[in-house]
């Protein structure tokens, strides 16, 4: 017998002693279109199950004129945040027999339109945008809407556009990080933000300030650094931390826009002779896989990135198939504070 990957409808038909047309109608759940007895239907399905037959989605799309692929546009592939999201997208896609076609901007946001055009040329049934919405021209979105190509945002949301999205509660996440440091006794808490045009950066700024206000602490502009470049590597955190270390009085704690920034900030602090967490406590954001293996292991705010990818892919596929309910179109997930060693136990007696 042939291996299951090469089993065809002809094989099913021969083993079930039916015509190829009958086998096709049964396999594709269209038995009602011709007169097929229950016994014949059961026989075909039994054979198909025994040999492990799976319909070819690409062949199906050619027959039905409906694509079973969708586009995914991510800001940068090198960022572990997007890697985890893509894993979630892949899981949901496999389960529903769809195929994601991935393109990466590598933070060259002038290429968004070109990426969209590539996906349209490849007959993508829909498009997921992960971390790219802040530069996306509304004209592109209007064109996709006119072409009946559904769109879902991941990790960002623009309320005014009312386009389906999956995001984390960024305000709450930054609040949790800052509050944790305050409860450890810190009072001079710095913040390294991503670029202002990233919606998540603005929301984490609000969460940071909200925590300071709740505990009656003053906000000091000298303790905040914001990266201008649209990149998320450790170098951004390093350069921002070098600038913060020039301040007086010195910081005793730091929140960062993501774990990559935290890694760079720790390196800059250690080069300056500071010990982590004795001299500087650090909290990241994302909980990428490597966060637990930093030295010291990084306290961070966990985003459910795998879940975000799965939910977004399911939402898009539902939209493609016309089954997406409006109440399930706007999803905000809860962040979680993951406490590790980069913050220590805080001051033993008095606030720093």
CA atoms within 13 A on the CB side of 61: 15
Residues 228-235: what's their mean pLDDT? 80
Q: State phi, psi for 188 to the nearest 5 degrees.
A: -105, 90
| Domains of the chain, earliest start first | 4-55 (1.10.260.40), 66-168+305-333 (3.40.50.2300), 170-303 (3.40.50.2300)
**Average pLDDT of the chain, as a whole number:** 86
- Most confident among 64-78, 86-100, 257-271, 335-349 (mean pLDDT): 257-271
Residues 141-151: what's their mean pLDDT? 87
Over 80: is that where the pLDDT of 34 sits?
Answer: no
Q: What is the DSSP string of 298-330?
A: PEEEEP-HHHHHHHHHHHHHHHHTT---GGGSE
Q: Express each pLDDT in 55-66 by its tens digit.
A: 665 555 545 556
Residues 138-160: what's their mean pLDDT? 83
Q: Is the dihedral of CA 334, 88, 232, 130 positive or negative?
A: negative
Reported as a pLDDT band with limits 50, 70 and 90, residue 163 is confident
Q: Express each pLDDT in 168-205 by its tens digit.
A: 999 999 999 999 999 999 999 999 999 887 889 999 99
Res 1: pLDDT: 40
Q: Could you tell me the two tokens for 261?
A: 């920034």
Over 60: is that where the pLDDT of 159 sits?
Answer: yes
- Most confident among 61-65, 159-163, 171-175, 234-238 (mean pLDDT): 171-175
Question: Closest Cα partner for 183 from 250, 253, 248?
Answer: 253
Q: Express each pLDDT in 244-270 by its tens digit.
A: 999 888 999 999 999 999 999 999 999
Q: State phi, psi for 265 to the nearest 5 degrees.
A: -65, -40
Dihedral-angle region of residue 230 (phi above 0 means left; psi in -120 to 50 means alpha; beta otherwise): beta
Angle at 142 between CA 139 and CA 145, to 5 degrees: 155
CA atoms within 13 A on the CB side of 109: 15
Res 295: pLDDT: 87
DSSP 163: -
Query: Among 115-124, 290-299, 334-343, which is the least confidently predicted range?
Result: 115-124
CB atoms within 10 A of CB 195: 17
Q: Express each pLDDT in 305-337 by its tens digit.
A: 999 999 999 999 999 999 998 888 899 999 999
Beta strands across the sheet bearing 165-168: 99-104, 69-74, 127-130, 151-154, 165-168, 330-333
Res 192: pLDDT: 97
Reported as a pLDDT band with limits 50, 70 and 90, residue 4 is very low
Residues 9-32: what's their mean pLDDT? 80
Over 70: is that where the pLDDT of 135 sits?
Answer: no
Q: Tell me the whole-structure pTM to 2 decimals.
A: 0.80
Kindly state the percentage of the chain with pLDDT values over 90.
53
Res 75: pLDDT: 83
């Amino acid at each position: 017998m042939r291996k299951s990957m090469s089993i065809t409808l002809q094989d099913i038909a021969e083993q079930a002693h039916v015509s190829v047309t009958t086998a096709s109608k049964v396999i594709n759940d269209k038995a009602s279109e011709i007169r097929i007895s229950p016994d014949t239907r059961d026989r075909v399905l039994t054979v198909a199950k025994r040999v492990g037959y799976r319909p070819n989605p690409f062949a199906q799309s050619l027959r039905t004129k409906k694509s079973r692929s969708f586009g995914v546009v991510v800001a940068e592939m090198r960022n572990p945040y997007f890697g985890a999201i893509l894993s979630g997208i892949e899981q949901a896609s496999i389960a529903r027999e769809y195929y994601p076609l991935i393109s990466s901007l590598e933070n060259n946001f002038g290429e968004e339109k070109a990426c969209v055009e590539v996906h349209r040329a490849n007959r993508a049934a829909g498009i997921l945008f992960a971390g790219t919405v802040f530069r996306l021209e509304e004209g592109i979105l209007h064109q996709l809407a006119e072409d009946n190509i559904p769109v879902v945002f991941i990790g960002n949301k623009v309320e005014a556009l009312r386009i389906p999205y999956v995001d984390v509660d960024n305000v709450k996440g930054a609040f949790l990080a800052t509050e944790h440091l305050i409860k450890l006794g810190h009072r001079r808490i710095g913040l390294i933000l991503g670029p202002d045009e990233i919606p998540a950066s603005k929301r984490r700024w609000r969460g940071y300030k909200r925590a300071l206000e709740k505990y009656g602490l003053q906000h000091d502009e000298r303790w905040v650094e914001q990266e201008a470049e649209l990149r998320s590597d450790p170098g951004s955190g390093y350069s921002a931390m070098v600038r913060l270390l020039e301040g007086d009085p010195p910081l005793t704690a730091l929140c960062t826009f993501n774990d990559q920034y935290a890694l760079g900030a720790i390196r800059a602090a250690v080069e300056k002779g500071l010990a982590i967490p004795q001299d500087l406590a650090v909290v990241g954001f994302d909980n990428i896989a490597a966060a637990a293996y930093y030295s010291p292991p990084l306290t961070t705010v966990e985003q459910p990135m795998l879940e975000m990818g799965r939910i977004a892919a399911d939402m898009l596929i539902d939209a493609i198939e016309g089954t997406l309910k409006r109440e399930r179109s706007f999803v905000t997930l809860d962040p979680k504070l993951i406490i590790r060693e980069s913050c220590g136990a805080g001051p033993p007696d008095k606030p720093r």
